[in-house]
């Protein structure tokens, strides 16, 4: 089977998104993203998630996440989920008083409401540290997020920052499925590289199985092209979206309407022969160094994430 190069993949996805079904999906994605941005702006203005994020409770690997699907299930705005190493352990509710901490509502089957930073919440989070590990990919996502947030961090992660609007990590759907059809894809992890007005927003595709480097990179490109078209449009065919809104959604303070820079990265296990296969895949793709990056990693004895090689730096 003939392998496509980078430009051929981009053109194929753009043609799909120019079909009536593709344009409809882009409109749906933009509408959902606008609702998500409004929900996040409300969280940022209230400040209670920020207050909770400044006070670690029971574990330094606890993160807050928001999901676009939760907008359809709540009349009060976004639901803030509490996760520990990839496991959902509850939801975060607003404080009961202006001076109090937010409330942690624990998961089923016996939900309780505990004040964040209180003793009961600390004990609950510590107990959750012993929970059964989630799927390997979800576990890897949680470990990488922890490493991206800590200081100092690994040299190969030095210029990468997770996208966290309103101090929440965010699940980001796309208009293209992983195999390149119109549908709903899910970006594993979105990070920012570069400071100031011109960051590159990098789609990271995480793999823990034996997916080939080429296939992992192609999937990352699918999602990156879909997000690029959703935000920046296609000249003379699809008008750009409100780029200032998307900059906020992707964790930037800029209100510029200039095109957003979208990059892609595949993060794959370092197995025998993978480094050679990755170089061959990059040669096939003929990717510009400003567009595509690849990171190889190992896992330590205790499950820690160990980056061993980055092929090139995005942006």
What is the Cα–Cα distance from 259 to 240, expressed in whole angstroms? 8
CA dihedral sign of residues 298, 167, 199, 203: positive
According to DSSP, residue 303 is labeled S
pLDDT of residue 290: 56
pLDDT of residue 74: 45
What is the SS3 assignment for 88?
strand
What is residue 35's predicted lDDT score, i.e. its pLDDT? 87
Question: Phi first, then psi: what are they for 27, rounded to 5°?
Answer: -60, -40
SS3 sequence, 202-266? EEEEECCCCCCHHHHHHHHHHHHHHHHHHHHCECCCECCCCHHHHHHHCCCCCCCCCCCEEEEEE
pTM for the model: 0.89
Sorted by sequence, the CB contacts under 8 Å of residue 39 that are 6+ apart come out as 66, 71, 77, 78
CA separation for the pair 294, 296 (Å, rounded): 7
Question: Which residues, in sequence order, are bridge partners of residue 296?
Answer: 268, 309
User: What pLDDT, on a 0 to 100 scale, did the predictor assign at position 115?
Assistant: 92
Query: Residue 257: its pLDDT value, please?
Result: 81
Output the CA torsion 81→83→86→87 (10° steps).
-90
Picking from 226, 218, 205, the residue whose alpha carbon sits closest to that of residue 29 is 226
The pLDDT value recorded for residue 63 is 83
Tokens read off for 71: 């907008």
pLDDT by 10-residue block (mean), the chain, 315 residues: 88 96 96 88 87 80 77 62 84 88 87 91 87 75 84 86 85 90 91 77 90 93 95 95 89 79 92 92 75 88 85 63
């Amino acid at each position: 089977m003939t392998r496509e190069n980078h430009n051929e993949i981009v053109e194929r996805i753009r043609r799909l998104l120019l079909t009536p079904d593709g344009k409809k999906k882009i409109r749906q994605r933009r509408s959902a993203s606008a609702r998500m941005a409004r929900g996040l702006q409300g969280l940022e203005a209230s400040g209670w998630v920020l207050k909770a994020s400044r006070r670690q409770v029971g574990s330094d690997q606890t993160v807050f996440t928001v999901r676009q699907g939760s907008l359809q299930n709540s009349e009060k705005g976004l639901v803030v989920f509490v996760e520990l190493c990839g496991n959902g352990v509850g939801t975060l509710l607003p404080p009961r008083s202006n001076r109090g901490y937010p409330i942690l509502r624990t998961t089923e089957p016996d939900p309780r409401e505990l004040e964040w930073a209180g003793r009961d919440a600390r004990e609950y989070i510590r107990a959750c540290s012993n929970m059964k590990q989630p799927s390997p990919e979800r576990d890897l996502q949680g470990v990488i997020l922890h490493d991206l947030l800590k200081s100092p961090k690994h040299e190969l992660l030095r210029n990468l920052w997770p996208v966290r609007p309103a101090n929440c990590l965010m699940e980001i759907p796309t208009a293209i499925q992983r195999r390149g059809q119109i549908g709903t894809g899910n970006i594993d992890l979105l990070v920012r590289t570069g400071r100031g007005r011109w960051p590159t927003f990098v789609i990271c595709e995480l793999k823990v199985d034996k997916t080939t480097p080429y296939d992992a990179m192609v999937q990352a490109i699918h999602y990156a092209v879909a997000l690029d078209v959703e935000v920046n449009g296609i000249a003379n065919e699809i008008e750009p979206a409100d780029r200032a809104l998307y900059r906020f959604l992707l964790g930037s303070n800029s209100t510029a309407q200039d095109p957003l820079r979208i990059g892609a990265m595949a993060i794959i296990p370092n197995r025998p022969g993978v480094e050679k296969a990755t170089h061959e895949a990059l040669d096939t793709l003929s990717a510009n160094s400003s567009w595509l990056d690849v990171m190889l990693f190992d896992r330590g004895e205790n499950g820690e994430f160990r980056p061993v090689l980055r092929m090139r730096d995005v942006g």
